[in-house]
């Protein structure tokens, strides 16, 4: 068999990935990862240079500008290697495998761009790194020196390469054997250990859980909030762990990692103050953060949290949701060739724009002065001679210090931010990666549904529903889920994250707005998750399906990274769904997943916060309240809506209770057929815990008592 392609041109123009298309005009003879390319490498006996990145990655752009667009460097690459470019968002399997290899070979964490040299025949790693400069600097060798050295190793040290490959394969097998289920009695001890680790790593001055660079770590924040709820339920409230979560959210919402004009959070902060971010905005960060800020608002009614949530949701709907309903992946850090240029301000532009704002009769000169103090515009510039908005003083402190009504000051500062936003809109915007990833959409569906319910914003629930139906119509074909859509075409088979995150999001959306069709689809997805991904020997779920192409490693990972572990959300969602639909198989799969993960959890509890949330819900199953009530005309019957049972449930923070309101006019799925509507079309609610159900609730007064007994707020 002969490869249908040759190594004499750049073939990326045939691809749909925005990241690959960014490199379609490089002089490098780039190929996509596919069977023909791998065959070409074997036939030519050239090692593979694998470069993995993503469209919004700043350092990917830097390496491209320095090396991949340089003719001399490209000539060396083309002469010595088969060059493969991979979008890590489309092929997270390859990214995870070779990031893992990088960590094993270098004993350091990886990153992007990921640069790995592979054997021509087995695709085993020879050498791995991340960014390499064109010229030697910062202790890094020149990229062309690396190229020549690796080529020499390939030609002269085959036995060393084979020995290293064998050692890596032994490591991979050892990793898998570590997932052998442990015969243990689950308990809260490991959760308590993680709680102590979270508090120990907590930055008491700036919030967060590390020094610079500083990442949001939404799984840790979620764990801290859930743990506080658990302790409060047991009448032993743990205010310190709640402080770790809320203070981190406060410092992030005040910091430059948050876009104070357009909404949304950047990927991470380059400093410990949350001041200067890497400016790319990722869907996978903003979905979980949207949920967390909505919960934080419901817990303590801090206006900062409400604004962060609503402005993030509004940004997503305005800039990140396609007209068909799916959510886009990311926005770039760079515009006009410079990182952050879209976001920062010169002294001249700030003074001119705020000077125009002073002509607005509703905005006082004092408010403009306080705006400058709020965001440091009265201080020295904080980003390469320019200003990036960062909260130095809170609105509350400014209002108190200057004896101004807090609500009035908030209103005026909002108006000033809107004026700056409109001015910024005239700039060249960063590129948006318009591919639609199923897994990340699942996280945003979850975030939008939580925000819509807790903030009482029906438009957010409608946005989540549109996204869900987009995925159902475009990513679900012939009982098979696809991972991504670009230009209306689904191309890649789904990974475990796609199934797990989508089920997780749909279960949340169903709490906000019941939909029989989406519920039935959720059950189909769960069945497919078990049949195609479950490790029936050791428990848990592989990252790739049983029919996926053979790669050097079949991953089954349990720890969180920038996003929660797929196994964690699979266990959490299956446990919830099992109790909702009455299917023990789902609950057993969740239990087996936790058993398989137990060794990994025990070694580093804080790295498994999402799985610990799943463990907590396995140990103490959530309450499930199914309400049957008449449909309410949202537009014409305000009083009836105010008195509706579903409206009443939205007034409470109920982290341990799943509430599903099924209209009396709908015939529920057979798994819920015993939850009948009340007599004469009246409302009724069925409270259950695990598989044990109590007496139905038949009056609003009884419902209010139930909700108050299960609600958690700081002031309650």
DSSP string, 610-650: HHHHHHHHHHSPPEEEEEEE----TTT-HHHHHT-HHHHHT
Q: What does the pLDDT read at residue 356? A: 83
Q: Is pLDDT of 638 > 50?
A: no
Evaluated on CA atoms 312, 473, 583, 588, the torsion sign reads negative
* pLDDT greater than 60 at residue 653: yes
Map residue 51 onto helix, strand or coil: strand
Which domains can be identified in the chain, with CATH numbers?
12-177 (3.40.30.10), 343-426 (no CATH), 623-710 (3.40.30)
Tokens of 21: 């298309």
The reported pTM is 0.95
Say what the alpha-carbon torsion angle 258, 264, 268, 273 is, to the nearest 10 degrees: 10
Residue 640 pLDDT > 60: no
CB 265 within 8 A of CB 289: yes
Q: CA angle 194-577-92, nearest 5°?
A: 65
Residue range 175-179: mean pLDDT, rounded: 95
Residue with structure tokens 């498994």?
A: 608
Nearest to 422 by CA among 346, 354, 338, 321: 354
Find out whether 682 and 675 touch, Cβ atoms under 8 Å. Answer: no
527: part of which helix (H) or strand (E)?
helix 516-533
Q: What is the pLDDT of residue 2?
A: 62
Q: Express each pLDDT in 266-320 by its tens digit.
A: 999 999 999 999 999 999 999 999 999 999 999 999 999 999 999 999 999 999 9
Question: Using one digit for the tens of pLDDT, what is the confidence trace for 430-446?
Answer: 999 999 999 999 999 99
Instruction: List the one residue out of 55, 48, 36, 114 whose CA is nearest residue 484.
Output: 55
Instruction: Count the neighbouring beta carbons within 10 Å of the beta carbon of residue 6.
Output: 14
> In this structure, how many other beta carbons lie within 10 angstroms of the beta carbon of residue 183?
6
Residue 148 to residue 79: CA distance in whole angstroms: 10
pLDDT value for 641: 57
Q: What mean pLDDT do residues 624-638 have?
A: 73
Q: Which residues, 6 or more positions from 83, have their beta carbon under 8 angstroms from its beta carbon?
A: 28, 29, 30, 31, 48, 49, 51, 77
- Measured CA to CA, the distance from residue 510 to residue 93 in angstroms comes to 30
Average pLDDT, the chain: 94
pLDDT in tens, 390-432: 999 999 999 999 999 999 999 999 999 999 999 999 999 999 9
Mean pLDDT of 576-604: 97
Query: What's the 3-state SS for 163-224?
Result: HHHHHHHHHHHHHHHCCCCCCCCCCCHHHHHHHHHHHHHCCCCCCCCCCCCECCCHHHHHHH
The interaxial angle of helices 566-581 and 584-603, nearest 10 deg, is 150
Q: Output helix, strand, coil percentages for the chain, rounded to the nearest 5.
A: 50, 10, 35
What's 608's DSSP letter?
A: G
Over range 579-588, report the average pLDDT. Answer: 98
Q: Which helix (H) or strand (E) holds 433?
A: strand 432-433
Q: Token pair of 589, please?
A: 């799969």
Task: Name residues whose C-beta falls within 8 Å of residue 345's C-beta, 6 or more positions apart in sequence.
Answer: 377, 386, 387, 388, 389, 420
- Alpha-carbon span 645 to 172, nearest angstrom: 53
Residues 5-59: pLDDT tens digits?
Answer: 666 799 999 999 999 999 999 999 999 999 999 999 999 999 999 999 999 898 9
DSSP per-residue string spanning 77-131: HHHH-EEEEEETTT-HHHHHHHHHHHHHHHSS---SSEEEEE-TTT--EEEEES-
**Which token pair is 195?**
């709680």
Distance from C-alpha of 508 to C-alpha of 518, rounded to nearest angstrom: 11
């Amino acid at each position: 068999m002969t490869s249908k392609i040759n190594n004499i041109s750049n073939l990326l123009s045939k691809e749909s990935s925005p990241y690959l298309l960014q490199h379609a005009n490089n002089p490098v003879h780039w190929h996509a990862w596919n069977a023909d390319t791998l065959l070409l490498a074997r036939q030519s006996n050239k090692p593979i240079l694998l470069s993995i990145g993503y469209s919004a990655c700043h350092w990917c752009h830097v390496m491209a500008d320095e090396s991949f667009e340089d003719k001399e460097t490209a000539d060396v690459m083309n002469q010595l290697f088969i060059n493969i470019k991979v979008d890590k968002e489309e092929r997270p399997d390859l990214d995870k495998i070779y990031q893992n290899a990088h960590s094993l070979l270098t004993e350091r964490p990886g990153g992007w761009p990921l640069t790995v040299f592979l054997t021509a025949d087995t695709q085993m790693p020879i050498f791995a790194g991340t960014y390499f400069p064109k010229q030697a600097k910062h202790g890094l060798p020149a990229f062309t020196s690396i190229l020549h050295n690796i080529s020499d190793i390939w030609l002269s040290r085959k036995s060393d390469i084979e020995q290293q490959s064998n050692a890596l394969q032994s490591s991979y097998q050892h990793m898998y054997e570590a997932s052998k289920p442990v015969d243990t009695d689950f308990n809260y001890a490991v959760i308590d250990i993680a709680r102590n680790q979270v508090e120990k790593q907590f930055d008491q001055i700036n919030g967060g859980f590390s020094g610079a660079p500083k990442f949001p770590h939404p799984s840790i924040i979620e764990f801290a909030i859930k743990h506080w709820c658990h302790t409060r339920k047991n009448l032993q409230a743990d205010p310190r762990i709640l402080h770790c979560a809320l203070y981190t959210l406060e410092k992030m919402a005040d910091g430059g990692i948050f876009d104070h004009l357009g909404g949304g959070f950047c990927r991470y902060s380059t400093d410990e103050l949350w001041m200067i971010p890497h400016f790319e905005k990722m869907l996978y960060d903003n979905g979980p953060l949207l949920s967390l800020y909505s919960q934080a608002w419901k817990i303590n009614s801090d206006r900062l949290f409400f604004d962060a949530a609503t402005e993030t949701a509004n940004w997503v709907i305005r800039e990140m949701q396609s007209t068909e309903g799916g959510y886009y992946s990311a926005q770039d850090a760079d515009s006009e060739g410079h990182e952050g240029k879209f976001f920062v301000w010169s002294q001249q532009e700030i003074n001119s724009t705020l000077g125009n704002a002073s002509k607005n009769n509703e905005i006082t000169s004092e408010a403009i002065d306080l705006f400058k103090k709020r965001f440091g515009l009265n201080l020295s510039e904080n980003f390469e001679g320019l200003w990036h908005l960062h909260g130095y003083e809170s609105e509350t402190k400014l209002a108190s210090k200057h004896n101004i009504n807090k609500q009035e000051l908030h209103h005026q500062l909002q108006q000033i931010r809107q004026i700056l936003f409109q001015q910024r809109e005239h700039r060249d915007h960063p590129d948006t990666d318009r591919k639609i990833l199923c897994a990340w959409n699942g996280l945003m569906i979850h975030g939008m549904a939580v925000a819509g319910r807790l903030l009482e914003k029906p438009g957010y629930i409608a946005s989540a529903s549109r996204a869900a139906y987009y995925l159902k119509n475009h990513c679900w074909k012939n009982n098979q889920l696809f991972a991504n859509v670009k230009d209306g075409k689904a191309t890649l088979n789904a990974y475990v994250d796609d199934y797990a995150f989508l089920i997780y999001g749909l279960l949340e959306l169903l709490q906000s707005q019941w939909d029989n069709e989406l519920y039935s689809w959720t059950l189909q997805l769960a069945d497919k998750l078990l049949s195609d991904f479950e490790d029936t020997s050791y428990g848990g779920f592989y990252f790739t399906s049983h029919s996926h192409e053979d790669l050097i490693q079949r991953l089954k990972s349990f720890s969180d990274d920038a996003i929660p572990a797929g196994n964690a959300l699979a266990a959490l969602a299956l446990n919830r769904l099992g109790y909702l639909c009455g299917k023990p198989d789902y609950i057993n799969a969740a239990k087996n997943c936790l058993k398989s993960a137990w060794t990994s959890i025990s070694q580093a509890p804080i790295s498994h916060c999402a799985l610990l949330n799943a463990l907590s819900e396995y140990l103490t199953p959530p309450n499930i309240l199914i309400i049957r009530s008449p449909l309410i005309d949202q537009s014409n019957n305000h009083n009836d809506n105010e008195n509706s049972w579903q409206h009443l449930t939205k007034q409470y923070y109920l982290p341990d209770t799943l509430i599903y309101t099924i209209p009396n006019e709908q015939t529920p799925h057979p798994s819920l057929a015993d939850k009948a509507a009340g007599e004469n079309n009246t409302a009724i609610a069925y409270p259950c815990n695990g598989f044990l159900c109590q007496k139905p609730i038949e009056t609003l007064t009884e419902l209010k008592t139930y909700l108050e007994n299960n609600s958690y707020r700081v002031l309650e």
